[in-house]
Amino acid sequence: MDNHIYEHKVQYYETDQMGVVHHSNYIRWFEEARTDYMEKLGLGYETMEDEGIMSPVLSVDAKYLRMVGFGDTVYVKARIKEYNGIKLTVSYEIISDRTNQVHCKGETKHCFITTKGKPLSLKTASSQFHEMFLKGLQKDKEENE
């Protein structure tokens, strides 16, 4: 399966009284997909945090296009949109297996800090993460051309 794709089956607790997924869950799925994507690239959040590097979310944007319901399976495509060593932007598309359409689009922006909250550059703090994100960015750009 594509490294960018994270599969999620909608659970009952993720829906409202109408059986429609509550909007907050899309943000959770973004995070699940980003975590999965990093692991598929070779280094996950656990390794990053073991190195004393944190990556807080600076902003989240989501555009809800169509409803998703209980029992549906969605595929979340995560792609590196921007990366410069200091900040990272990841874009997402949530696609329903039932409709094969995009039901939500969004992005998250991140920075990198020490465990004490001091900003850092991955270029100097961790060459392995820096190279991983650069390779992911290049690959994602090539695939979108």
Strands 5-9 and 102-111: unpaired
Identity of the amino acid at 30: F
Q: Which residue out of 2, 16, 36, 140 is catalytically annotated?
A: 16
Strand partners, 79: 91
Q: Left (φ > 0), alpha (ψ -120 to 50) or beta: where does 33 sit? A: alpha
Active site residue 2: no
> If residue 80 lies in a helix (H) or strand (E), which one and from where to where?
strand 73-83
What is the spatial distance between Cα 139 and Cα 133, in angstroms, rounded to a whole number? 10
| 21 touches 8 (CB < 8 A) | no
Nearest-angstrom CA–CA distance, 92 and 21:
17
Catalytic residue numbers, as ranges: 16
